[in-house]
A and B are shown apart, each in its own frame.
Chain A
Amino acid sequence: GAGVSQTPSNKVTEKGKYVELRCDPISGHTALYWYRQSLGQGPEFLIYFQGTGAADDSGLPNDRFFAVRPEGSVSTLKIQRTERGDSAVYLCASSQTSGGLTDTQYFGPGTRLTVL
């Protein structure tokens, strides 16, 4: 079956612009996670959704970052007034139910964001 997909695979933008990154989780997965992976680093947690609601957004670095999941499936990560330091690979993962330890997270291939 289809895995987690993310679009676009690459996004180049200019400093100060607004960007949206999309994640399509595995069908039926209720939990969805966003991570940011800077060059040479491991993924860093940003936000976790359970259904339509953000259950934990403690990883969002500042108020320029926002994510939504209006119908409990597709999610969009939105970044306002992009800065060069936002350049990274943004990863999405989904899992079947509640995000417990027995619930495997399936990762998408990521969106590489470059802010010039």
Chain B
Amino acid sequence: GNSVTQMEGPVTLSEEAFLTINCTYTATGYPSLFWYVQYPGEGLQLLLKATKADDKGSNKGFEATYRKETTSFHLEKGSVQVSDSAVYFCALYLPSGGSYIPTFGRGTSLIVHP
């Protein structure tokens, strides 16, 4: 079956530190890969996505590159801010019944201290 594995959290960093949140996947077929963010008290929001191998998704200073050879989609940011504190979910999408249904990882909590 399809699955997504994320590094366990919480990840605790100081402001302006470099962030990496690891995500690897197992899938039948060729998935598209997404990162979602959930800020405290809010719903999930799409952060970035990549639909084919070697694509790089980017948004708000975050980046992730679709690596087919290592089945990975690691999230990175060069300098985190306190406002980046949230839970981050990696997800893969595969076609199903005319739509694309996601399989989510369990989420990684990020805590950024001033």
Contacts and interface: CB of A to CB of B under 8 A. Distances in A.
Interface string B22-36: 000000000010000
Contacts of B93: 101
A90 interface: no
Nearest to B104: A42
Nearest to B32: A101
A45 B4 CA distance: 14
Interface stretch (A65-73, A78-86, A104-112): A104-112
Contact of A100 (B41, B97, B100): B100
B113 to A, nearest CB: 23
Contacts of B99: 31, 48, 50, 55-56, 98-100
A41 interface: yes
Contacts of B89: 42-43
Interface residues of B, number: 25
Q: Is the interface of A mostly helix, strand, loop or mixed?
A: loop
A21 interface: no
Nearest to A3: B43
A60 B104 CA distance: 16
Given A93-B44, A105-B46, 6 more contacts: A3-B43, A43-B89, A56-B101, A58-B96, A59-B101, A109-B41
Interface of A: 3-4, 31, 40-45, 48, 50, 55-56, 58-59, 91, 93, 98-101, 104-110
10 contacts: A43-B102, A45-B102, A48-B99, A48-B101, A50-B99, A58-B101, A91-B44, A101-B93, A101-B100, A110-B43
